[in-house]
Amino acid sequence: MSTNTEATPQSPKQQVAIKAAEIVDNGMIVGLGTGSTANLFIDELARRQQEQQLDIQVVASSVISRVKAQQAGLNVLSIEHLTHLDMYVDGADEVTIDMVLLKGRGQDLVCEKLLASHATAFYVLVDDSKMVKQIGDKNPIPIEVMPNAASLVLNRLAKLQAKGSLRLNAAGDNVAYSAAGNLILDMQFSGLETAQINALLTVMPGVVEHGIFADIAKAVLVGSADGVKLLQA
């Protein structure tokens, strides 16, 4: 008696995670993002390391990713020991066709942008539900601010016709703090293009970092039911 077993279909997120892991070469230092898609990439990278005896090192953008990487058997470096980073792999909350990203729904925005900006190549992994015409179409723009500057920044943004508030913690009974110890404003803008918002926030006193990632990604891998589509700079 014979039995036929069919492989479980791969989700779009799994497809892009596998494709990204295939890019990793022996000897690389790889930055790990945070989130569900990044977790799939960590799993696939660990599988390749074990099966193909890859000599690689990784650095994590968050405590969660660091713990997961260690549990998967990857060799984890501390950020403070980095002198270079070959590639950084992470998901995104929104992506436009010209590869502008929105990130920061989690708590690790500062570290994520640090690694993305300093990596030789930044690869973004998303499914097609994350594609938008303009940043902010589906989510507010996260803005990390110095704790003592939150009211000043919020007032300044209100004068620019932005609407929003301080992010609350999961319980909803207090403000949320980022991994870097900052407060987070979730803001919606009207009447301004993404490039204008990016420029304003980048130089605004009191703003530590914000969720617009422009001109940083080398490629975006977009998973769908039809396979993986590659967007490149």
Which one is catalytic: 44, 94, 112, 209? 112
DSSP string, 121-153: EEEEEEEGGGB-SSTTSSSPEEEEE-GGGHHHH
Annotation marks residue 112 as catalytic: yes
> In whole angstroms, what is the distance from residue 212 CA to residue 12 CA?
24
Identity of the residue numbered 201: L
Q: The tokens of 66 are what?
A: 């660091």
CA triple 131-189-110, angle to 5 deg = 70
Q: The tokens of 135 are what?
A: 């940043």
Q: The tokens of 11 are what?
A: 């989700």
> In whole angstroms, what is the distance from residue 92 CA to residue 36 CA?
10
H helices of the chain, in order, are 12-23, 36-52, 63-71, 109-118, 150-159, 194-203
Sorted by sequence, the CB contacts under 8 Å of residue 32 that are 6+ apart come out as 38, 41, 42, 58, 59, 60, 61, 65, 66, 69, 88, 89, 90
Which residues are annotated as catalytic?
112
